[in-house]
Chain A
């Protein structure tokens, strides 16, 4: 780390800033350090240093300036927003880009031109961190927004009933508050790239018509360590990682098959941090492709075209199309011939249940159509990569990444069901295409002395293995508390021997477990947090960072409620004060979630 400022030169920075800078660059490799030094020099020349340091950068001023807002958990919205801002800048526009999680909600009242990239998560929720923005602007106290011209791009996943609902709500609300829509909202599914690209062009066309190029754009400081090396693999050009280990880690007799997968990243250019995810570009299971072909009575050798490329139908189904998770357009297509499905589509509850309990093959089997190869392929979504939280510390396992993968494979309605990526990873493949999906919203505290509380259920424990391993590797002395839940102690205690070892070594200061199927009462992680309320509040008061990883639908909400209750009880606070306390944790990035 020769590039780190030498102590003999008196740095013109206060100690805390210097420390922060050191921590930011601590994990940079040679290329990244070189890049960063150039980047900082550029900032110095353009005179935006103050803006970088400011915790709350102001939106670009002036009637012609544009602000691109995004909210992002998986990084998709951030990518779309970045691409848009990039193009706008290239076109000479003044563009500010804002993460809603860091944005003071009321400031929108002074913005003239805005673009929103808004994803919807799980059951109709905004991404973590952006709750305050939505609460304010969807709430009754929101002021009028006559000055605002805006466009909304909604992102979502049509396998959920509440598809794109956050984007829709925002669009409707802004209109109701008197703002003027510029480009009509579109609702994008998981294969959003193409429609988002078209929409971006439209927005830019409008913007360049009415605007004059002005100021240098402001770049947020957070992007500093999100910049990947140029050679790093992407979802389009993934690295083919060798599978080094595929080890079942649930015991015999478990209701689940969870694997510990070790991947070789040597020469991949992937440099990850604990908290990051790995994107897996899967192939669908061959038996599923065969079963699907049999169900729709088509020949796998039939020729089809996907994105202008000719290929066999079986190839398209295996490697290009989503054939496990249902999507709304697909159900709508089938519903044109099946009346029974139309009532499902119009009933949110039923649709949610339908999506939750059925896969593509169930739809095709239960609602048969005379499918032809090309229309079949066209009606299916693009096969999207699956993200897995990395379960290893890069420093303890150089050139490797470990994943904790629950194999999705079950029989229902007399048919075999499969998960795409899990069966791909554990299906005997020698290599898997992977790329890095950085997650700046799930990071260990820069200070190794700061305590952390890690709450996770099932495979949600994966990033904590990375966290604890990382802290052990670096000899960080901060206390570590893990609250872990799964089904059965005897068979489902993922990485039990490692936790016991880390406890014995003193790395894992405290650990609570909740096994939901062992006793008469179902006990979950949130129950443990309530039981340990005094300890939890004490740790938070000591500055602990709190992490939640796992199921978004139930666990994350239950844990959040438990946290509010704990703060209220132990802090002797009102409901409202507790809300503020927890919101404060989020603002300070001391309450981070990775839920899915």
Chain B
């Protein structure tokens, strides 16, 4: 704990009467498309961010108009599995009230962009109508619980997914404010309450993910709390527990940094909810509430030590956590195209560039998937790599599915290098208020240029992970990529190199504040060196890790 004064947001949370604030008044103010300032913080707990179209911000100010305020609404959907009915409703809401696109995020959530204030209520209501929610999709609470979307061992996956859903439910805020404001729920008579969090919730966001080896597609070391599924005899026996991962950092502030989580033990299935509750509880009680840039679990652990953390957890659990079980990750990216499920049905994984589901002239992906949802008998799964799995298609339906997708120009057989197919980018400009540089809009151009370089060096088939982030907060988990660009200013990035291919080891800052030409020049040189000097089976990340940072490693 600290003697420093609480951050202003802590006071705001405390005053908000369990997240009510003046949201109702903000929503009905017809003079502005914005919320009152305090409500822009509280809105996050309800699942949406106030943003504006930054492309037109300056011009609108000249025109004596306020910024083009709009909202990003995020759906809480544990494990990223949606039924066709849910897909159709989300599609309808995006088409009617959003900007006509659905964004699949790196944390397996759906995002709507461009929602105007007046449409917030219908959108949130529509989402709830199909048994999804937006509560705690953002804010200082337990965010969307991720889970590996597909695994070789279906039973293990099914059980892990069940646990993800249970965790999501268990750790969701219990305030009635959400129902009151969005679903016209009756106002409760007495005071509200929040049994797990209390009235000030968490010090900062709290992220949970579940990995199912051999895939680390969820990047289990990048979250506050990770669970690695341990299989015994074909069944899910429990989880190895990972704590203290996190990607966020701030340029020029060495006290802020990304961190990979520590594996601290093993819990059985029965112990899992209790472990999650108490990890969150320790962070709730010991997390730094005076400095928001120092408020994630990773800092709490670093400040007090992993041993302290384990002891505190054991004390709260009432038993010592068992020693970790061995596990092995072999992949991190998605496998595109058809894969058989165990029961004779099929999964089809589609590449969605930067996770943006939309119609373009050639590829009418939004429409194609809408038509598909009308006939699909299985479900839809969002991958942590921003792609989409059309899951559990009966064998007899395969031809029809292919026909339908082809008719809308939705590509099934992905062309392009592995680099392009597993590249990630956050949303960034023009809507994200934090963005310092382009990410999603820049990714296609960047991958084209990198593919040309790879081709020149005969590296086209090399699966190198590339991640672009518009700011150092790291929504695209850039610090776990082999090549990462982290935005500094429009057209300027910090270049990070040397992460491993599976998400165990973070990359390092190789060049600061550089433009595209310099980045391409550097990579061109490194690709050449890689071809000439790589050891057998060595990945590009391992190569750069040993070659680029020789001086600082010496």
Known: A252-B56, A489-B33, A513-B31. A500 touches B66 (CB 8 A): yes
Specify which chain A residues have a CB less than 8 angstroms from the CB of B59 in the assembled complex: 252
What CA separation (Å) do A512 and B31 show in the bound complex?
A: 8
A498 touches B64 (CB 8 A): yes
CB distance from B308 to the nearest CB of A (A): 49
CB distance from B527 to the nearest CB of A (A): 42
1/0 contact trace for B62-76 toward A, CB 8 Å?
A: 111110100000000
Specify which chain B residues have a CB less than 8 angstroms from the CB of A489 in the assembled complex: 30, 33
Specify which chain B residues have a CB less than 8 angstroms from the CB of A498 in the assembled complex: 64
What CA separation (Å) do A518 and B97 show in the bound complex?
A: 12
Add 10 more A-B contacts to A247-B64, A497-B66, A500-B32 (CB < 8 A): A252-B56, A260-B64, A489-B33, A490-B68, A493-B65, A496-B64, A496-B65, A500-B31, A512-B30, A518-B118
A495's closest neighbor in chain B, by CB?
B64
Q: Indicate whether A250 reaches chain B with its CB closer than 8 angstroms.
A: yes
1/0 contact trace for B10-32 toward A, CB 8 Å?
A: 00000000000000000000111
Chain A interface, number of residues (Cβ within 8 angstroms):
23
Q: Indicate whether B60 reaches chain A with its CB closer than 8 angstroms.
A: yes
Residue in A252, A511, A518 with the greatest tally of chain B CB atoms within 10 Å = A252
B61's closest neighbor in chain A, by CB?
A497
Q: Considering the complex, which residues of chain B in the window 416-466 have a beta carbon less than 8 Å from any beta carbon of chain A?
A: none
1/0 contact trace for A360-391 toward B, CB 8 Å?
A: 00000000000000000000000000000000
B64 touches A249 (CB 8 A): yes
Q: Indicate whether A503 reaches chain B with its CB closer than 8 angstroms.
A: yes
Q: Indicate whether A122 reaches chain B with its CB closer than 8 angstroms.
A: no
Among B31, B65, B68, which residue has its beta carbon within 8 angstroms of that of A249?
A: B65
A499's closest neighbor in chain B, by CB?
B31
A508's closest neighbor in chain B, by CB?
B31
Q: Which 8 A-B pairs have the closest CB atoms?
A: A249-B63, A497-B64, A496-B65, A249-B64, A513-B30, A495-B64, A251-B65, A496-B66
CB distance from A397 to the nearest CB of B (A): 15
Q: Indicate whether A248 reaches chain B with its CB closer than 8 angstroms.
A: yes
B59's closest neighbor in chain A, by CB?
A252
B67's closest neighbor in chain A, by CB?
A497
Q: Considering the complex, which residues of chain B in the window 386-426 have a beta carbon less than 8 Å from any beta carbon of chain A?
A: none
A248 touches B31 (CB 8 A): no
Known: A496-B66, A497-B65, A497-B66. A251 touches B60 (CB 8 A): yes
What CA separation (Å) do A250 and B118 show in the bound complex?
A: 21
1/0 contact trace for B28-47 toward A, CB 8 Å?
A: 00111100000000000000
B64 touches A503 (CB 8 A): no
1/0 contact trace for A242-272 toward B, CB 8 Å?
A: 0000011111100000001000000000000
Among B31, B64, B68, which residue has its beta carbon within 8 angstroms of that of A511?
A: B31
Specify which chain B residues have a CB less than 8 angstroms from the CB of A496 in the assembled complex: 31-32, 64-66
Q: Chain B: residues with CB nearer than 8 A to chain A?
A: 30-33, 56, 59-66, 68, 116, 118
What CA separation (Å) do A250 and B116 show in the bound complex?
A: 18
1/0 contact trace for A413-446 toward B, CB 8 Å?
A: 0000000000000000000000000000000000
Give 19 CB contacts A-B under 8 Å.
A247-B64, A248-B63, A249-B63, A250-B63, A251-B60, A251-B68, A260-B64, A489-B30, A490-B33, A490-B68, A496-B32, A496-B65, A497-B64, A497-B65, A503-B31, A511-B31, A513-B30, A513-B31, A518-B118
What CA separation (Å) do A496 and B65 show in the bound complex?
A: 5
Specify which chain A residues have a CB less than 8 angstroms from the CB of B60 in the assembled complex: 251
Specify which chain A residues have a CB less than 8 angstroms from the CB of B33 in the assembled complex: 489-490
Specify which chain A residues have a CB less than 8 angstroms from the CB of B32 in the assembled complex: 496, 500
B69's closest neighbor in chain A, by CB?
A490
Q: Considering the complex, which residues of chain A in the window 478-505 have a beta carbon less than 8 Å from any beta carbon of chain B?
A: 489-491, 493-500, 503
What CA separation (Å) do A490 and B66 show in the bound complex?
A: 9
Specify which chain B residues have a CB less than 8 angstroms from the CB of A250 in the assembled complex: 63
Specify which chain B residues have a CB less than 8 angstroms from the CB of A251 in the assembled complex: 56, 60, 63, 65, 68
What CA separation (Å) do A247 and B116 show in the bound complex?
A: 26
CB distance from B32 to the nearest CB of A (A): 6
What CA separation (Å) do A493 and B66 show in the bound complex?
A: 9
Specify which chain B residues have a CB less than 8 angstroms from the CB of A494 in the assembled complex: 64
CB distance from B38 to the nearest CB of A (A): 15
CB distance from B59 to the nearest CB of A (A): 7
A490's closest neighbor in chain B, by CB?
B68
CB distance from B319 to the nearest CB of A (A): 57
B117's closest neighbor in chain A, by CB?
A489
Specify which chain B residues have a CB less than 8 angstroms from the CB of A518 in the assembled complex: 118
A247 touches B63 (CB 8 A): yes
B70's closest neighbor in chain A, by CB?
A490
What CA separation (Å) do A251 and B116 show in the bound complex?
A: 16
What CA separation (Å) do A499 and B64 show in the bound complex?
A: 10
CB distance from A214 to the nearest CB of B (A): 58
Specify which chain A residues have a CB less than 8 angstroms from the CB of B62 in the assembled complex: 247
B118's closest neighbor in chain A, by CB?
A518
A519's closest neighbor in chain B, by CB?
B118
B30's closest neighbor in chain A, by CB?
A513
What CA separation (Å) do A164 and B541 show in the bound complex?
A: 86
CB distance from B62 to the nearest CB of A (A): 7
CB distance from A596 to the nearest CB of B (A): 23
What CA separation (Å) do A84 and B56 show in the bound complex?
A: 57
Specify which chain B residues have a CB less than 8 angstroms from the CB of A499 in the assembled complex: 31
Specify which chain B residues have a CB less than 8 angstroms from the CB of A493 in the assembled complex: 65
What CA separation (Å) do A434 and B486 show in the bound complex?
A: 56
Residue in B61, B62, B63, B116 with the greatest tally of chain A CB atoms within 10 Å = B63
What CA separation (Å) do A491 and B33 show in the bound complex?
A: 12
A494's closest neighbor in chain B, by CB?
B64
1/0 contact trace for A507-548 toward B, CB 8 Å?
A: 000011100001000000000000000000000000000000
A248's closest neighbor in chain B, by CB?
B63
What CA separation (Å) do A495 and B66 show in the bound complex?
A: 9
What CA separation (Å) do A513 and B116 show in the bound complex?
A: 17
Q: Considering the complex, which residues of chain A in the window 458-492 have a beta carbon less than 8 Å from any beta carbon of chain B?
A: 489-491
1/0 contact trace for A208-250 toward B, CB 8 Å?
A: 0000000000000000000000000000000000000001111
CB distance from B433 to the nearest CB of A (A): 19
Specify which chain B residues have a CB less than 8 angstroms from the CB of A511 in the assembled complex: 31
1/0 contact trace for A179-191 toward B, CB 8 Å?
A: 0000000000000
What CA separation (Å) do A477 and B64 show in the bound complex?
A: 25
CB distance from A464 to the nearest CB of B (A): 14
CB distance from A511 to the nearest CB of B (A): 6
Residue in B31, B33, B116 with the greatest tally of chain A CB atoms within 10 Å = B31
What CA separation (Å) do A279 and B30 show in the bound complex?
A: 34
Specify which chain A residues have a CB less than 8 angstroms from the CB of B63 in the assembled complex: 247-251
CB distance from A386 to the nearest CB of B (A): 23
CB distance from A172 to the nearest CB of B (A): 49
What CA separation (Å) do A441 and B116 show in the bound complex?
A: 41
Specify which chain A residues have a CB less than 8 angstroms from the CB of B65 in the assembled complex: 249, 251, 491, 493, 496-497
Specify which chain B residues have a CB less than 8 angstroms from the CB of A512 in the assembled complex: 30
Specify which chain B residues have a CB less than 8 angstroms from the CB of A497 in the assembled complex: 61, 64-66
Specify which chain A residues have a CB less than 8 angstroms from the CB of B64 in the assembled complex: 247, 249, 260, 494-498
What CA separation (Å) do A250 and B68 show in the bound complex?
A: 12
What CA separation (Å) do A499 and B66 show in the bound complex?
A: 10
What CA separation (Å) do A248 and B66 show in the bound complex?
A: 14
A250's closest neighbor in chain B, by CB?
B63
What CA separation (Å) do A249 and B56 show in the bound complex?
A: 13
What CA separation (Å) do A573 and B64 show in the bound complex?
A: 43
What CA separation (Å) do A499 and B30 show in the bound complex?
A: 12
Specify which chain A residues have a CB less than 8 angstroms from the CB of B66 in the assembled complex: 496-497, 500
A513's closest neighbor in chain B, by CB?
B30
Specify which chain B residues have a CB less than 8 angstroms from the CB of A491 in the assembled complex: 65
What CA separation (Å) do A494 and B31 show in the bound complex?
A: 11
What CA separation (Å) do A553 and B33 show in the bound complex?
A: 31
1/0 contact trace for A393-415 toward B, CB 8 Å?
A: 00000000000000000000000
Specify which chain B residues have a CB less than 8 angstroms from the CB of A252 in the assembled complex: 56, 59
Specify which chain A residues have a CB less than 8 angstroms from the CB of B68 in the assembled complex: 251, 490
What CA separation (Å) do A494 and B64 show in the bound complex?
A: 7
CB distance from B235 to the nearest CB of A (A): 55
What CA separation (Å) do A495 and B59 show in the bound complex?
A: 14
